[in-house]
Amino acid sequence: MGDPLLVQQLIGNYSPQKFRSKFLLVSAAFILLVIALANPRKPDGSSNVKHKGIDVMIALDVSRSMLAQDIKPNRLERAKQFVSKLIDKIPEDRVGIVVFAGRSYLQMPLTSDLAAAKLYLSTAAPDVVPTQGTVISDALQMSFAAFNAKEKKYKAIVLISDGEDHDESAVKLSRSLAEEGVMVNTVGIGSAEGATIDDPVTGESKKDAEGKTVITRLNETSLKNIAAATGGIYLSLTNSDEAAGSIQQQLGTMEKRGITEMSHASYRYYFPWILGVALLLLLIEFFMGENKKIFKAKRLPVTVIPLLFCLLSSLQLFSQNSNEEIKQGNELYKERKYGEAASHYQKAINKKTGDAAAHYNLGNALYKNNDTDSALKAYDKAIAFSKTNQDKAAAWYNKGVLLQNDKKLRECIDAYKQALKLDPADEDARLNLQKALQQQQQEQKKQQDLEKKEQKKQQQKQPQQPQPPKPQASKMTKKEAEEKLKALLQQEKNLQDKLKKTDAQTIEKPEKDW
C-alpha cells in the first residue's frame, strides 16, 4: 500500500470493533423495520357484553295489497318506516324478519346486529315472494319456527299487515302460539274505505277474475282477534313514532332473559415503538466513528436536520392509536351521522392504511350514505387487509348484501360463496345464498319467457308460406270421419274436466293474488 510508517500513521486510530458495531447497528435497525412492517399487535378491548332482552320476530306483509296508496307514500313504505323506528327502540333484544304474501320466507334469522336488520328491511318488496296473496297463518308459523323450541317464554311476534287474510286458520294458530309462550302484537295499516292496487309495470288498477276493479281494505277484526288470542295488543298505524313506542311498552311487560355477546375486538399496535428503536439505532450509527475515540465529532448536514424532524414528527403521529378515530366513527354511526362517521374512518385509514376494521366500518357508513360503489371498494380493501378468516368472511358477506340490493345476482352469489368458504358456520350467508340462487332462477325463467314471447312475435310477423298439400287417396268414409272427430272432441273434453278438478284440489296458491 505504501511506506509502512506512513500507513501505520494513517490507520493507527482505526478500530475494527467500531466498524463491526456500526454494521451490527444498521443490521439491527433493518430487522426492526421489517418487524414493524409486519405490524405486530395483540387484542385489546374485547369483552363479553351482558344484557337482558327477548326474541322478537317481525312478520311484514309484502303482498300487492300493501302497495295501495291510501296511506302515503304507500302501505309498505309506511310499514318499513315503523319497523325501522321499532328496531331503534329495542336495542337490547334480538330481532328477526319474516316477509310473507302467499307464502312466507325467513328474511333474516334472530340476531343482535340491528344494523344488519335494517339492511334486510330495506330490501323487502312484493318481488321477493313469488307467490302472491296474503296468508297470515303461514307467516306466524314461520316466525315461530325461528324461535328456540326449548323455551316457552321470552318470545314475541310483531305482525304488520292490512289484515286482508285469505286464510281463516290464523286465529286458531294464534291460540296454539299462546300455549307455547308467544305474544303476538298486530299492527294494521290501511283505511276502512280502501284503495285500488296499481300495477307498477302497467300503471293500471288491478282487476279480479270477473274483471272488477279490486278494492283492498283494512281488516281490523282479523288482526284484533289474533292479538287478543295471545295477550298482545292491536294498533292502527297512523303515527310511526307513537305506534313504535306503544309496541315497545308492550314488549317491556314481558319477562326478559340474560344475553351474553362478544363485543368487537380492538387491537394494541406496537409498530410505532419498534420504529422509534430503529430510528435511535440509526442515529447512534450515524454519530459513531470508526476510530478508537468513542464518538467522532460530526456536524449534521443541513439537509439531515429537517429529515430527522420529519421522522420524529411521524413517529409521534403514528403513536396515536387509530382506534380512537374508529371509536368516534362508531359513535357517530350509532347517531346515524353516516357522513361524519365515514370521515373519522377515513382519518383512521390515513393514520394506518392497513387497518382492516377501519375499511370495514367505512364500507358500512358509505353504504348508509347511499355511496354503494365506494362502499364496495372499502369492503375489497377490508378483505385484502384482514388477518383472520372470520374478518374476511364478514367483509365478503356485507359485500354480498350490497350486490344483492343492486340486483347483481351473479356477483352477490360469488361473494356469499367466498364468505362460506372462509366461515362455513355462517348461517346468514347460507340463507342469503339460497335466496340469491332462487332469485337468479326466477330471473332466468323470466328471461326465457321473454325470449319465447319474442320468438313467437317474430314468427307471427314473418309467416311462412304454406306448402300446397299433396293429394292423398282417402281411406275413410264420411261417416267414419265424423265418428273419429266426435271421439277426439270427447277426449279433449275429458282432459279439460280432469285439469279443472286438479286445479280445484291444489292449495299451494291462494285464490286471490293480492
- pLDDT value for 509: 46
Per-residue confidence at 46, pLDDT binned at 50, 70, 90?
Answer: low
- pLDDT value for 502: 41
> Which range among 67-76, 79-88, 478-487 shows the weakest confidence by mean pLDDT?
478-487
Which of 13-22, 62-71, 202-211 is most confident?
Answer: 62-71
Q: What is the DSSP string of 437-492?
A: HHHHHHHHHHHHHHHHHHHHHHHHHSPPPPPPPPP----S-HHHHHHHHHHHHHHH
Give the closest residue to 60 by CA, choosing from 83, 27, 28: 83
What's the rounded Cα separation, in Å, for the pair 338 and 332?
7
Is 58 a domain residue? yes
Q: In this structure, what DSSP letter does residue 494 have? A: H
C-alpha cell at 183: 305474544
> Which range among 107-116, 254-263, 293-302 shows the weakest confidence by mean pLDDT?
293-302
Is 95 a domain residue? yes
- pLDDT value for 27: 94
What's the rounded Cα separation, in Å, for the pair 421 and 423?
6
**Residue span of the structural domain in which 97 resides:** 50-261
Q: How many CB atoms lie within 10 A of CB 103?
A: 18
Q: Are 269 and 352 in contact (CB under 8 A)?
A: yes
Label residue 222 exposed, middle or buried (CB < 10 Å: 0-12, 13-18, 19+): buried
What's the rounded Cα separation, in Å, for the pair 241 and 246?
9
| Cα-Cα end-to-end distance for the chain | 104
C-alpha cell at 29: 435497525
Bridge partners of 104, per DSSP, are 100
Per-residue confidence at 228, pLDDT binned at 50, 70, 90?
Answer: very high
Give the β-pairing of 257-262 and 104-111. Answer: unpaired
Mean pLDDT of 160-176: 81
Based on its alpha-carbon atoms, the radius of gyration of the chain, rounded to whole angstroms, reads: 36
Domain count within the chain: 1
Q: Are 372 and 406 in contact (CB under 8 A)?
A: yes
CATH of the domain at 233: 3.40.50.410
Give every CB contact of residue 70 below 8 A, 6+ residues apart in sequence: 190, 191, 193, 194, 195
C-alpha cell at 390: 372470520
- pLDDT value for 471: 46
Q: Are 170 and 140 in contact (CB under 8 A)?
A: yes
Q: In this structure, what DSSP letter does residue 242 have? A: H
Is 91 a domain residue? yes
Buried b (16+ CB within 10 A) or exposed e, 38-77: ebeeeeeeeeeeeeebbbbbbbbbbbbbbbbebbeebbbe
Is 18 a domain residue? no
Mean pLDDT of 81-110: 90
What's the rounded Cα separation, in Å, for the pair 10 and 262?
70
Is 121 a domain residue? yes
Is 286 a domain residue? no
C-alpha cell at 245: 313506542
Task: Provide the CB-side half-sphere exposure for 147 (13 A, CA).
Answer: 23
Per-residue confidence at 489, pLDDT binned at 50, 70, 90?
Answer: low
Is 370 a domain residue? no
Query: Three-class SS of residue 348?
Result: helix
Is 34 a domain residue? no
Span 281-328, pLDDT tens digits: 999 988 887 776 544 444 444 444 444 445 545 544 543 566 788 888
What pTM did the predictor assign? Answer: 0.47
